[in-house]
Structure formats: C-alpha cells, structure tokens
Structure 1
Amino acid sequence: MPQEFHSQLEKLRQQFAASLPEQARRLEHIWGHLRHLNWSEQGIAALEQFAHKMAETSTSFGFGELRQKAGQLESYIRDLKALGRHFGGPEYAQVAELVKQLSNSLNNRQDPTETPPAPDSLPEARGKTVFLIDPDRTLATLCTAYLRNAGFTVEYFDNPQTCMQRLYLDSPDVILFDPDFEGSGLQALGNLRKIKSLLLQNTPIVLMSGRTDLNAKLRALRAGSTDYLIKPVDFNFLVEKLVQLINQNNKTYKVMVVDDDEAVANLQAEILRYAGMEVLCVNQPLHSLQHAAQFKPDLVILDMHMPDINGMELAVLLRQDPEFLLLPIIFVTADTDINLHRNIRALGVNALLTKPFEADDLIERCRQALTDTTLLKTRVARITRHTQKPQQINRSYFFSALEEALHGKNPGGQASALYYVSVDKLPELGQQLGQVELIGLHEHFCEFLDEILGSDEQWADLSNLVACVLAGKRNLEFHRQRAEQISKYLSNHPFNVKGKLLSLDVKLGVVLLEPSLATANNALQQAEQAFEQQLDNTAQTNAQDTPPTTVAAVTSTLATKAQPDFSQIVFNRDLQLAFQPIISLEEPQIEHFSVLTRLRNGADELIPASQFLGRINQPGKRLELDRWVLQQAVSAIAENSSTRELATLFIHLAEETLQQSSFFSFAANVLRSSRLRGEGRLVFMLEESWLVNHFHQAREIAKALRDIRCSICITRAGENEQALDILEELPLSFLRLSSKLTNASNNPKLLERYVTLANKKGVQVIATQIENSRNLSSLWMQGVRLFEGFFIQPPDEGFHLKNDIIFAREFAQDNNFNLS
C-alpha cells in the first residue's frame, strides 16, 4: 500500500474514531426519544437506520467489534418487523440490552481490528473518470481514496442536482450513485432517470445502497441503473466492477467464425464487422483450438457439418479448456433435422440459427450471447470471492425471497425448499460455553456454512447456531441428499473453542415450499417442526439403544408418517430403484448409471439407502435384497430401447453378498435371460477399505466377474493410500474417487498418483460431488473423464437423449445460475 494512501486512510480512520462519542450521544437521543414515544414506527425506523449506517461505516473502516454490535441490533429489529412481533416485554429488554452494548462500543474508541486491503493500481483505471454521488461524506471520502489509489479520477457530489449541473459540461466514464432511498424515497429514482437522460447512451450507472430488499433493486434496475451493489462494499470488488463496466462499454468484442465454406464465413464476418466486432475466420476446423488459444475470442460461431470434426465435437473440446468453460457459442446450420437441433441445444449453446438468416438476427443473437455471458461471469466472480468474512443475506431480503419462492411456479415436480439448520442439545451447549463463547462459535458456524453453500442457496441466521437455507428448485430427492450433505459437512467440521476442537451434532428440518403454506412464517414454522421431529426421532433411537444410522437423518414435513418395519420390508411394495447418471464431458450421450435403492415410507416419500440399510440385519436379507436390485435394474434398462444397447449399470453390493460365490452365477443367469448384449454391462462396486482387508477374496471375485463378462469399480478410492499397491494387481474397469480427494484438494500428489495409475492401466476414473468449476477443469486436465453428481433420473428415452453437457455445466457453474 503506498505510503501516501496509507497516511490518508489513517487520517480518515482517526476522524471516524473521533466522531464515535458524538454518535453514542445521538444513539442515546434516539433511544430516549423512542421510549417516550411508546415505540412509534418512526422511532423504530430511526433506530434501525442508525444501526445500519453504523454497521456499514464501521465495516468500511475496519472496526470489527463496532460492526458486530451494530449488526446485531439492526438484525434483531428487522427480524421482529419481518415476523410481525410487537416491541414489548422480552423484545423490549433485548433491544435495550443491544442498544447498551452498541453504546458501550461507541464510547470505547477501540482501534480497528481489520484493515480492508487496498486495491492495486490498475492500468485500465488510469484516465477514467468516476462521478461519485453519496450523501454520506464520511464514506464518500473513504471510497474516493480507494478509487484514486486504484488510478481513477474521482469527482464527488453530495447530491444528484449538483452532479446533473456538471453533466451539462462533461460526461464521466461511469457514475457511482447512492440514491439514499431512506432520505429521498421514490424521488431517488426520478433523479436516476434524469441523470440517465443527460449521459451518453452506454455510460454505466452503478447504484450503492444499504437497501437489500428486492423491490428497491428492481425499481433501480428498471429506472436505468447498470448494476446494484449493497453497502458496505468490498472496495477491491468495486474497483474490478467499475473497470469491467468501463471496458465492456468501450470494448470491441472478438468473434471467431468456424466454417469450412470460406464464402459463408466471410459473409458472416462482414456482417459482424459492420456491427463493430473484430472477427477471425477459420476455414480448417481442426485448427480451431490453436486459433482460439491465440485469438482469445469472446464468442464463437460454429457450423455443424464440417470435414474431420463436426460443430458439436468442436464445441465440447472448446469448453473443456478451463479458459473457455463459459465461452458463448452460437451454431449456424442449414440442417433442419429436429433431433439434431435438440442435441445441439442440449450442449448448452447460446443460440441456434438456421441458414438462411437475416443479418440483424445474427447481430442480435451475438449481442445477447455476449450480454448473458458477462452477467454469468459476474455472478461467478461474486460467488467465488472470499476476500472478506462472509456476509449473509439481510434477513428482510431473505424473507422476501422466501415469500417469492412460496408463490412461484414449480415445473416438473420441482420446488424450492427451506432447510432449518441447528444443533442437538443447544441449551446445554449454551450453558457449557457461556454467551461470549457461544457467539464466537456461532460466527465460525456461519462462516463455514457460507463456504459450503452453492449459488442457488441463500441463507440467514436466526439466532446463535440456528440458520435457515433457501434452496433452489429441485425434486424432493435432491433436497434430501443436499440437506444430508450439509448436515454431514457441518457435523464433521471441527470448530475451535477456547483452543479445543469441538464437533457439533447438526440436524436439519426440510420443508418443500408450496403455495399451500401461504406465508414465510408458516414455512419457517413447518421447517422448525421438522427439525424438532428429527430431534425426537434421535432421542427415541438413543432410548431404545438402537444402532444409529451411518448418515445423519434428514426430516421432511412430507415424511412424518411411520416408516415400514425394517424386518418386514416387502421389496416390490416398499422399495424403489433410482438411477444416478455418471456423465462424460466428451461422449454425446449418458451411458453409465449408478443404481440406488430407496425405501418408500408411509407418506409415499423415498428414503436414501444410507438411512435404512444398516437396520436390515436378518441373516440372508441383504443377499436377497441385492438379488432383487440386480433383477430390477437389468429389467429397467433392457426393456427400454434407448438404454438397451449402451447403458452400463453400477451396482453396490453388501459384504454379505460378496461372501456368496453363488451370487455371481445368479448374475450370469440374469444377464443371459435379459436382452442385454456385450461385455461390461454390469459393473459391481467394491469399497477401497473392504478391498484392502479382503484382497485375496477380491481377486477371486474379479476372476468370477471376468468369466461372466462383468466389471469391477473400486469406490471411495483415495481414503487408504496403501490401496495403490493392490490396485496395480487387480483387473479394474473403473475407479471412483473419494469426494475428499477431489473436492478438498488437500492431497494433490495422492490424487495424481491415483489418476496416473488408472490411465496407465486403461481404467476410467470417476469424480464425485464436484461443486466448483475450477475443480471440474482441473480434474479434466489431470485425466478424469467421468463425473457423478446428485442427479437422480430414470434411464428413459427422454433423459437418455439429453446431452451430458447440460449436467456438466450444472455443477461446473454451481448449480446452474439463474440470470433473471
């Protein structure tokens, strides 16, 4: 950080610190006025606004304790308002205590606990002018210092009218505007429209505001703003955002046109050059990857039918490069075949044009694709940014989003869900730790929760160690598995308390968001009841000394009826199979399915196998179950014309089944009597830990499977390093990596050894639960070609025809971003 900037920043901090006693007196004035006015709406709003402004400013200056106290007061008031509760009785006492804590913090004049990092000076910012409009002079001065340090020229205005007078004389490269919704109300949007009318057509306007509600954002965007940032703003992100918008406004986009017909490619190039784009024509498709690496296109236009390589194959190869993972692609083809068009669109391309087409159509599709991709990249940048402590969504916004999800459409049996997240025996834990330590533990709990959630999952904390997660539209089975995964991550994560590592027993209650719930409060109540039911089930299990399930159970309000007696399960009545695709980034179709067993409970919902298989302990029952699963799975793909010829089934076997050599004779008979032909159509999965302890038996099983033309897949590979030597000797077809090895990246050398060994032996490697696009790209570069996610679908014709790139993009882009 340059010394001049450092000195300026310290001066501003000292000025802010010197103003804190005056702010304490102002707080006391608001609080005293509020009490005498008997909790008027105006007084409550003034207290809330003061707390928000203090949290915002203290965050910007790095005063951690002050930020925490102000944030607690603001959150509590907003929670009470959102839940419709009165400010009296216990609520009054709690607000009084929070006001007292904030007042003490203001009077303590503490030193900053954090130093917000200074953005680097950027060449792209030099010579670029920012007009900053902000009624808060303190924050505006700080923001100006950071922007100037990054290289911008900044002109500051404390009101929109002064800025508009300046716009008659000059025009900036970008305007940064706090509309002060609280003070200006809807007039702020009128000022925004007036400013917009005085600017050049494409000059971006970025709004900064403490308002987090969706209504304010929508109104601002509709009034003409380019983007909406929530205060307090990460200054590094702000600098990057301004540079991006300025470059985007002035940028000449680069387009690569790939078509073996030189005349057609040149025609498209002339149309796009007329629209202001830089174009490179490639008439030899096999050279496209080399040209793309040098040209760095922002957009690619592909013909479908070309010699040596077709457009779909080329699109897949381009997207496999991490640099082009989000590259917008437009197909242009004279082929009108409906099935071909369906397969092209399944690649996740941005547009498909059929020749002949109008020049305006091509230009418009290109501009739309570039705009959509810019929005997507911005979303990715926000989600993967972890330079500051995670900031959960404001609770008022969370409840607004919850209301919206309740009344939205749920296509194809999918719905959003609310997860209620907390811990077992919370009161006892609070008494054991004390209030101070419990608050610290809660902060660590929230930080880790923020890290493990995906892009379509929003969250807010309700109280210490209690949070709610709003998950995007999925089917119930996905929500079950996702909630179970969150529970496992939180329960397995060690939290540091007083220098000791503490594990939390985290439980989740899950409720699907249907219109019948009517309100956000009802949804929250239902999710909380599901959580409490989960605690009751656990208590009953412990009281009966019944062995707990191997995975923490997840409750849904749709599944509260009694489960079948595990000793009396009737397979065809109580069980159902689910098929989880194992997808490839290279092959045009999904050919591999992992077979999963589900138990149907009294509410006709499906329970994952991990929650009930451990309770089936009658002799011979697991062998009988595995025989049933094998027969049902083979019938499912053999009776469908789309899967009969190619699909491969991955089947888990119980240890009891592996002890019975007669099972593999049974498997051979099932195959012979089915319509399946070809080798390797059945793949039996053996866990690595079992393999290490039963290697000689595994070698006999491998020989038996080879005799009946079936294959072996080692699963959870990477949890026992000594298994590498054994794998050298065992004939395998697939290696399914442990998610610990592929997601945590804590042992890259071991991962490299597994993949290298597999590639050397011609074994296909499967990665599981990939939730980060960088992990996906990295694994592909290392030689991993198959990926298994959380997608549960039947292997039917409609599903089989969908290209796997749809699913690859889903977990490459953190659960399929919604750009609306």
Structure 2
Amino acid sequence: MTESGNAKKREEVLKKYLANLSKNIAKLEEMWGHLRHVQWNQQVLSSLKLLTHKLLGGALALHLHKIAYDLKSLDYNLAQIDDDSGAPNFQDNDLIEQCILALKATSNDLANHKPEKVIDNSSIEVSNLDKQEKLLYIVDDDQVIRDLLAGELEACGYQVNLFENLQSLYDSLNQETPSLVILDIVFPEEGALAGVDALKHLRSQMGLKIPVIFISARSDMVARLRCLRAGGNAFFGKPVEIKPLVEKIEELTPDDQTRHRALIIDDDEISLELHADQLQSANFKVRKVNNPLNAMKEINQFQPDVLLLDMKMPMCNGLELADVLRQDNHFTELPIIFITGDNSEETRQQAEAVENSQFLTKPVERSELLDASLTAARQYAVVKHKQTRQKPSSKQSPIKKRQQFIENLDRVINGRSSELEQYHLYYLVLDNINNVKQHVGLRNLDEINSKLFKVILPQLSPQDSVTSVTDGALLLLIKGEFDHSWDLANQLINELDHIAYTQGEESLKTSASIGMFSLNTPIANSIDSIAYAEAAVNQAKNAGGNKVVAVLNAHNKTIDESAQMVLSEKLESAIRDKAYILNFQTIATSENSDFQAFEVLVRLKDDMGRQISPIKFFETARNLDAIVEMDRWIYSATTQAMQSDKTGLMSAKMFLKVSTETLSYNLLPTIVNGLIQESRILGERRLIFMLDQSSIENHLEQSTRFAEAIHHINCDIALENYDYHQSFDIIEALKPGYIKLNASLINEAMKSAHTQVDLKSFIGYCKNRGISIIAAQIEEESTLDICKTLGIKLFEGFFIQKPTASLQQAYEANRLWSESN
C-alpha cells in the first residue's frame, strides 16, 4: 500500500468512526441508565465495558485526544466495578455518569468544529528489511486498530494477516508460522487479560517460539508485568507509534546481517550436510567441521551462538570436546546441543551433566532441531548482551562465610535510610532435602551445596552475596528493585528444577522454594529479617513447594500475586517522592456565615494522577518510617495554602491530624511555630491539631505535653473519635477547644431516653467549658436534624460537602451551605 493510499484509508476510518460516535455514546448512556435505574445485569455491564474499550482503542489509534481522555476516564471507572459482584452503591459511581456527560460534550464539540487532525506516521524510512516480506500477524478485536496498523505496516513492506479473535489465531498457527505476532491484551468477551493467557497457552501447549509484541490501551505496571511473565518480547501502548514498532520488529526478527550463527561438529558427512541445510533454511549462518581436533580453532574464529556436537567421534568424542571448551572462560555460557544415535539413559545423563546443554537423538526431526537451536541462540544472545553492559568488577566471590554475610546484611539494614538502592533477602531451601540426604548418603553431603552453588552463582551480579545455612539451604542478599529480584527468584526456581543428585546408577530430581523479604521496610536487625524470609519459605513449602513467596513488610503480610506486589512497589515509590496532595473538607455551621473551618486531608497521587486515600497507603508509609515526614509535609503545605489564599480567609481554621508517630516527635511544636512565623498567618488558634482518643490513652503523658506546647504557640487541640461515656480526665488534661463526635454514635444515642440524657449532659458540660462539638461523618439530612436539636453547631460529612483539592471551592461550598441553612 502506498503512503497516499494509507493516508486515504486513515481518513476513511476517521470519518466512519466520527459518524458512529454519537450513536455509540447514546448506547453507552442507555446501558448505564438501564443498570442504574431499571435492573442490574452482568451481561449489560460486560457489553458496556466492551463498547467503551473498543471506542477507546479507536480514539487512541486515530489520535482523537479529547475523546480518548474522556473514554479513558470512563474505562477506568467501569473497571472498578467487579463483574462478579452485585449492584454497587450508585452514590459512589456518579463519576461514570459524569464521564458519559463529558464524552457527549466533547462529541458535540467535534461535530460543530473541525475534527482533530489525524497524524499519519506511516511515512518513515525503514532500512535492512528482508527482500522477502516478513509475515506479521495482528490480533485485535477492534477493527479500527487492525486496519490502521495493517495499512502502516504494509506500507513498510511487511505482509500482514489480521485476526479479530484468539481462536482464529490458534487455527492459523496450526497451518503456518509468521515471523512475529502483534497481540492485544484485552479481549473483553474472552477475559480482561485474555491476550496474556493466550500467549501462555501458545508458549506452553503449542510450543510457540516466535516473538510476540503486546499492544494495549492499558499501560499500567500490572499489565506490563503480566505480559513479560507470559513470554512477551515487547509492549506498546495505544496509540502505537509506527517507527519504534518497526524498529522493535526488526530487532526481534533479525535479517541476514544479524542472523544467528551455528557451528556443527560431526564426523558423519551425511548428518553434517543435512543439519546444515536445515539450519540454513531457517536463516542461520552455518559453519561445518568434520574433524573435532580443528574445533577450537573454528569456534574462536566463527564465534557461534550455538554449538551442535556429535557425541561419538574418533580421536575426540563430544563430551571430551565439551570439557575442553568449558575450560575456556570465553565459552562457559555457549549453548551446546549434543546429537547422537545412542539413546541410552547413561549417555543422556552424561550429556545433561554438561552446563548449558541439550540432548537430541538421531534421527532428529527438522522442527525439533530448529526449535532447540533457535531457543539456545536467542538465550545466548541475551547473555552476551548482559555481559557487554556489565561494568568490570573485581574477582571477589559472592560466596561469603556466614558471619561475613550477616555483617553485610546488617550494614544494608542500618544504612537503608541513606541509600537509594533496594535489597531483598532470599531464604532458599530444597523442598525434599531429607530424601536427597538419604539418596546421596552422609559421605556425599557436599554434593548438595556444590550443585546448588553451581546453578546459582552464574545468575548473581557482583553486588550479590550468598552463604550456606545448612545442607540444602542458602541465604542470598540480592541488590535490585522488586521486579528484578522477583524475576531472579523465579528464574532460580526454574533452574534448580532441572538438576539431579546421583548415587551409583540412580538419580533423584528435586525442586526448591524461596522466601523473599524486602529490606526496604523497617527491620531492627538481620535476625528479624532472616526470620521473615524463613517464614515465607515455609509458607511456600507448605503450599506444595517449587514456588516463591514474597513478604512485603514486617507484619507477616505475604503475597504471591503480581498485581498486589506492583501496587506496593508503586506506593512506596510515591511515598518516597512525597507525591502528596491536600484535600479540604468543610466544617460548616448554620449559626454564623462568617465562620470558615476545614479539615485537611491528604491523598497520594499514583503514576496516573489518581488520588489514593490514606486507608490504602498509610500502612505502607508506616512501614517506611515515613509518617512523621508526611505529617510535616501536610503542615507545611497547609500553611503555604493559607498564605497564598486570595479568597479573604483571614480567619479560616484548619484542622490537622496528628499521628501517633508524630505525637512522639518532641520538636513538632517548634516546627509548627516556625511555619506560622514564616507564612505570617494572621489571627490566633487557626491551626487545630486533632488527637485520636485511643492514641491519647496509650500516650497520655506525651499527649499532655504536646497539648501544652500547642497552646503555648496560640494553636488549639481537638479530640477525635471521642467516647463521651468515658471519664472527663482527658478533657481536663488536654483542654481541647473542639471535640468530634461521629454521627453514628449520635444516632445510636437517640435510640433510648437514657442515652439521650447522657449525650445532652456531655454536650452541656462541653458548652460550659467553651468546647465546641463537631458532628462528623454526617451522611443524611435526618442525622443533621438530630444534631441541631441537640444544640450542636458544627457539622462535617459528605452530606455537607465532599473533600476537594481546591481551597477556593471548599470556601465557596462552606459559604453557600451556611446561607442556605
């Protein structure tokens, strides 16, 4: 297809998309209206999600940025509704209706104005394409994306076949093998991550070896990791930019100039020629050697990516040649494929004892030879790439004596607050160590650790270290981020699953488990961290073994689901970056329209700009020892907001939470006073610090000192979650200006005359001492009316006003509520 033809096709697709857009939005609105007002139906919900996803994919592909933004918001909010659960609380899903309304408005704007310009990025230079066109498969349920991507790739010289569902892909792969597959992640009718599951099936059940590139409107870390672990070779977010896509295709489907090199050594001329022809037909560059005594010279000159070696040759057999080769440090990783007509078990065991080797029996099927050779060559290419990127390091062995290992571990733990590097501790054990000990005998116990180290050491970086705990158990200290450490642990598990312990003619295979503990959480010492890792590995063994279990924090919260792991890592990163944002919630009154007060709330922004509530990140922040720093950030940001406010809030009061950790920070009042002086906030007692009753009871002496210091700098104290049935000793000690009572407590009190008397008595007590009562968490008008009859003057809750990041909006909501009440 020519460039002009491709551009014309894009214009046609754009017109068709825009012509149907208003109808499709009407369908979205109709389906949501049915779900909300008529009947909740899982099938309708699935159809709504499917249509939204398809529209989003088309908008991204056509670069309709405003439409795509609205659809992305809708897609995200719909994803929060579980397909298998019942009808949600529709008050929590107003955002979906808002998204659809915004989408309608954007669509109307497009209808009344010129559409956004479609970017045609197909006109690019592509070099080093094979003279014969490469066959690409595109699998996507969205016809818009399929057609556009096909047009762009055909313009670059590729042959393209299109598939709208996974079954048609399976059927075609049984007939032919493409050079590469471009696969969408989401097929809503088949599952949220059906593309990922399909690749797992293709790799494990159908033996698919060719490269696969994932494309998706989803770009979150969870999706990317799932793609990687399923065997994906690359990931592109929609809209797909054609130039980097073509570059990646060329990288994954190398041409003649970068094709793999295979060296075949066999004294049998017929086998030598046959295997050479088969590999050359698959684009290998091949060199043939029929005299094993010339092998080392040819290997050094040719630098192969894979070595095919006959085992039975005169003068020098294949096993002897492999031993000589492995003595050269340059070829310890070179993959060897032994080929022989001897299929005895003894010969197989001898071959498999050689590192990085495979065993094939003559006559070898062409597909078997190509699969083994291509897989080995690609893996070796990755190894060579890593070696070229590694900086020269000392020859110091990563194997440490136990005391030296513990000292290194303590050094990492004690220095974690000043280092950006991340470390993880592995506790690795053989699952059936007792059987192995019985099998090899007491005199041969050294073989256990020897084989473990033989497998593990090549996988470690110079910064990693390992020590033996007991027979068949090791401790490893791994430097790297979570994803790297998690993948390495699983790689070690897979490698250890292929080793065997021999005694005489008998061989016993085993498996291993790993308990993984992140050292980026607050831990007292090395003994505690080892205990957590050991608990995790015991959990892995109890679950059947041959797996990795990761401990995310020091509260024994274990995890083996990648999505939750990624979430924890992302939260930790955002907390370290202090990606916080303030929200303000009105504390309203119907008595005095000049009264302005707001509770200051904190949210955490994730990598997509969404706000995360404290209930989802507070525990992580606590594990990172980040609570005090977070509170200091809140107090500083609040005073800055008060200083820069232009709405005339010269008397607005800000209610600030005080955590247990911050309560113990003796310098806090001094810091607050400094912030007040620096920001030049006018007026007294405008900062009110809220203490939770349970925290006060556990730290009464600290709370009393803190309250005295806060009063001394002309700020005030509020008590939260206060139980008015308790003694008034806390009130007398802290002398608060405010007490917050939860509305649920007030509603409960109104159920009997006796509790009503107690509540009214408490309110009178507070009034006589100049303490204002705040009725918090008011969700409905009836509760508000009860509070008014009790003489309560201050109110807070979603019924009054939802939190907002804009102080101006909070002030306006406060003013309007006061005037209307």
User: RCO (CA 8 Å, sep 6+): is it higher in 1 or 2?
Assistant: 1
| Greater Rg by CA | 2
Give your verdict on TM over 0.5.
no
| TM norm structure 2 | 0.38
| TM norm structure 1 | 0.38
